[in-house]
Amino acid sequence: MTPRLLEHGGPLSVEGHAERIGAGPWARWLASAAVPDEGTHRAERGRRLARAGAVSDATVAEGRITARVTGSTGNEYDVALAADTVRAPAWEAAARAVRGRGPLQAAAAGEQQSVQLAHLIETRFGARLAPTAKELRRSCTCPDDESIGACKHVAALAYVVADAIDRDPSLFLLWRGCPPVDPAPADPWRAAPLPQPRPLRALPTAAVLRRLGRSGIRAGGVDLADALERAYEAFAATRPDRA
């Protein structure tokens, strides 16, 4: 899958002042995995950076999210969030299993976030759609980087990407190495628009009778078909368009 550069490499910012960033489950899983304790001073400083547009050059690729974050002192740091992707056989099996299943297929297509899809993948195919905090690898070139916790620059990156996932859930699938499945097909019972009718072509009088042939029934000394043909010709002669 092709990596995606968010906002053409420009600054990303999160609007609002809510303490939690990320509304949907996938967005929250990323944020909480990257910042296990969102009540810390570092997490709050990361939220401030996320809202101030300090994150730029954010790129989402299979297994890795990278960006540059400008700290409060004006220095720029390279930040990354990495995790092993979902095993391809597990995702392929899940993609087959959800076809035609409405919301699950929409989630596998990257159109919406779904707890149910993650549950299906884990219980039936033994894979985790979202990494845990221990499985996530964080890195930052700032002096405050630590292997277990998250510096404010890592938190800022996690928060802006979580916000982006709420707008476009397919970003989460890209990061997890899960190619989106085709979206749900249109209603199979809905017919296509009818074609325009062809121009009407008038048939000769009694054409259908001639095509059917002789009836074998006698009426007034003649075959019924001949009698009906004379009647049709009489009716046609009295039509307004023949006057």
pLDDT value of position 62: 95
User: pLDDT tens digits for the chain (243 residues)?
Assistant: 899 999 988 988 888 766 677 789 999 999 999 998 888 888 899 999 999 999 999 999 999 999 999 988 889 999 999 999 999 999 999 999 998 888 999 999 999 999 999 999 999 999 999 999 999 999 999 887 555 567 999 999 999 999 999 999 999 999 999 999 876 555 666 666 777 787 877 777 777 777 777 778 887 788 887 888 878 777 777 766 655
Q: What is d(CA 111, CA 114) in angstroms, rounded to the nearest whole number?
A: 10
d(CA 65, CA 29): 14
Task: Quote the pLDDT of residue 17.
Answer: 65
Question: Distance of CA 212 to CAs 70, 155, 202, 225, 226, Å?
Answer: 89, 85, 18, 9, 12
Q: Residue 239: its pLDDT value, please? A: 64
Distance CA 150, CA 18 (A): 20
* Cross-strand pairs, 236: none
